[in-house]
Structure 1
Amino acid sequence: MLSWVVRRTRLPLLSLRCVDCRSESATAGEGRFRVNANGKLLDVWLLVRCVSCDRTSKLTVRERVPVGSLDPAELDGYRGNEPELVASMLVDPLFARRNRFRLDWTGAWRLDTPSARLEQAWPVRVEVVFDDPVPVRPERLIARGLGLSRNEVLRRVKCDVSLRRTTRAGFTFTLMAGD
């Protein structure tokens, strides 16, 4: 069985309307948090920047939480602007829903495939693993990975998920021999 991996190459853009220029694209750039203390309560925001006008906006991460209720390592992550923490916040669907944005993954991921020859034993079984929840249609991903047309993929591939429905999780498919 072959294994393919879908990996993030950069943070995805956010589909979020700018209050100044009405553009729909924003970026988390390097990923910076802002932590604000009000007595014994903390507010934490993720700062994002409009791609068009460079205006900075805040996405609420934590709101009015007691200092003692936060894990010290998590608080250090916010203060240190840890890239893994920024990435995990952005791909969290609850965070996106609460802050009313969608992720635009265009150009932000790649497909790593082994350089194995497919002329070997048929049928060929392939497992696809996602490092991040990149939304992609399996038929397009398989066509890209094998260098086949999408019609050829629909004809030759048996898959454990619908080929025409967007998925964000791993799946397995079997490639049958061509005619």
Structure 2
Amino acid sequence: MSSPPHIVLPWVVRRTRLPLLSMLCGYCRAESATTGEGRFRVNANGKLLDVWLLVRCVSCDRTSKLTVHERASVRSFDPAELHGYHVNDPDLVAARLLDPLLARRNHFTLNWTGAWRLDTPSAWPDEAWPVRVEVVFEDPVPVRPERLIAHGLGLSRNEALRRIKCDVPLRRPRSAGFTFTVLAEG
């Protein structure tokens, strides 16, 4: 027996801005910082380089540094990467900020609230059920699948849980793609 035909719809989770950093400010003790436009500071000491990502406290507006590279040999850098540090390349800022090793080394977490959006097709099929949806993440935005699905379908979380079948745990944050099937009402 074959499964009924279904339509596959793509959903894409996109970053709208860089996330805020949850870290303790050394001056005012607030717990939120931003990278602003994203700037690096590169300091040379002989043939060794230090590279920092500058962050600004949201409360007191003071600047702090996150260590990206410490006492690294100039020869160990890719020339394009080193140039990116000097010109404050936005893609390099995003790549470094989203690097979990940098977060662990500098004791911060990312606050993605308001920093992402879900792009869904405007037309939803009226007759073809079930509908299979493929969710793709352009950036590693951690979001709970149940909340993402409820938001995308415009349903309550309980209604969404009742009407879907998913191949991943729904109550754990994910930042990688997954698929789910939406069943007809009733």
- Bin for the TM-score computed over the shorter chain: over 0.9
**Deviations 1:19-39 (CA, angstroms, capped at 9, x unpaired):** 110000000000000000000
Pick the aligned partner of 1:110 from 112, 117, 136. Answer: 117
Pick the aligned partner of 2:138 from 131, 134, 141. Answer: 131
Pick the aligned partner of 1:6 from 13, 24, 31. Answer: 13
How far off is 1:120 after superposition? 2.8
Residue equivalent to 2:155: 148
| Aligned residue identity for 1:76 | H
Pick the aligned partner of 1:56 from 54, 63, 83. Answer: 63
Residue equivalent to 1:119: 126
Which blocks of at least 5 consecutive residues in structure 1 are unaligned? none
| Aligned residue identity for 2:49 | L
Pick the aligned partner of 1:73 from 53, 76, 80. Answer: 80
Equivalences, count: 179
Instruction: Give the distance between the partners of 2:170 and 2:129, measured in 1 at CA.
Output: 20
Instruction: Give the distance between the partners of 1:57 and 1:120, measured in 2 at CA.
Output: 56
Residue equivalent to 1:88: 95
Runs of 4+ in 1 over 2 A off after TM superposition: none
| Aligned residue identity for 1:73 | A
* Structure 2 residue 169 is the aligned partner of structure 1 residue 170: no
Pick the aligned partner of 1:18 from 10, 25, 36. Answer: 25
| Aligned residue identity for 1:38 | N
How far off is 1:176 after superposition? 0.5
How far off is 1:141 after superposition? 0.4
**Deviations 1:132-169 (CA, angstroms, capped at 9, x unpaired):** 11111101101110101101111110011111111111
How far off is 1:68 after superposition? 1.0
SS in 2 for 1:60: strand
How far off is 1:118 after superposition? 3.3
Instruction: Give the distance between the partners of 1:85 and 1:120, measured in 2 at CA.
Output: 45
Instruction: Give the distance between the partners of 1:120 and 1:100, measured in 2 at CA.
Output: 50
Compute the RMSD of aligned alpha carbons.
0.7
Residue equivalent to 2:43: 36
TM-score (norm 2): 0.95
Instruction: Give the distance between the partners of 2:14 and 2:127, measured in 1 at CA.
Output: 27
Instruction: Give the distance between the partners of 1:100 and 1:174, measured in 2 at CA.
Output: 38
